[in-house]
Amino acid sequence: MDAKRQDLMSSIGLLALRLGGGGYMMTHGWAKVGMVFRGEFMDKFDPIGLGPHLSLISAAGAEFVCALLVVVGAATRFAAGAVVFTMLIAAFVIHASDPWTMGAGANKEPALMFAIIFATLIFAGAGKFSIDGMIWPAWRERRAKRRAAGK
């Protein structure tokens, strides 16, 4: 497979990963967004000592807002990093005593699967079918022209 076709196929794969993982994460985070707007803060929800209000707002922001950024491919690596951090907290703090795999009740598996999906996007980027893919190549080109002109 030639390099151009390989780049196209990789970008399509990253698009599918962003739309699938980000879209599903948004549905997961939507419930927390509703809780924030309704003022339903859980007194016991304070996994890393930020307080229940800031903890819920942070989780909702990562699971919905950052997932939305990943879906459209804007600031993808930063947004994916916030989701990975949140999912690792979910797996190893909130679900610390839960089993690793699916079964009756809560478990670590969904959080770890999301962490893997979004960690992949941190390393691979958003691909060319994204806002990042449209902005950064043009920015790099302008920067290279300025350097070549000695500015």
Domain map (residue ranges) of the chain? 3-148
Handedness of CA 71, 48, 119, 82 (dihedral sign): positive
From CA 36, how far away is CA 105, in angstroms rounded? 25
Task: Answer yes or no: is pLDDT of 103 > 80.
Answer: no
Per-residue pLDDT at 104: 63
**For residue range 9-19, what is the model confidence (pLDDT) as tens digits?**
999 999 999 99
Task: Answer yes or no: is pLDDT of 70 > 90.
Answer: yes
Q: Which of 1-5, 47-51, 95-99 has the lowest mean pLDDT?
A: 95-99
Determine contact, residues 51/106, Cβ cutoff 8 Å. no
- Which helix (H) or strand (E) segment holds residue 86: the answer is helix 76-89
From CA 144, how far away is CA 136, in angstroms rounded? 12
Residue with tokens 């804007």: 74
Helix, strand, coil percentages in the chain from 3-state DSSP, rounded to 5 = 75, 0, 25
Give the pLDDT band (50/70/90) at residue 105.
low
Q: Which of 24-33, 47-56, 98-107, 125-134 has the lowest mean pLDDT?
A: 98-107
From CA 5, how far away is CA 7, in angstroms rounded? 5
Secondary structure class of 130 (helix, strand, coil):
coil
Q: Which of 17-26, 39-48, 97-106, 107-116 has the lowest mean pLDDT?
A: 97-106
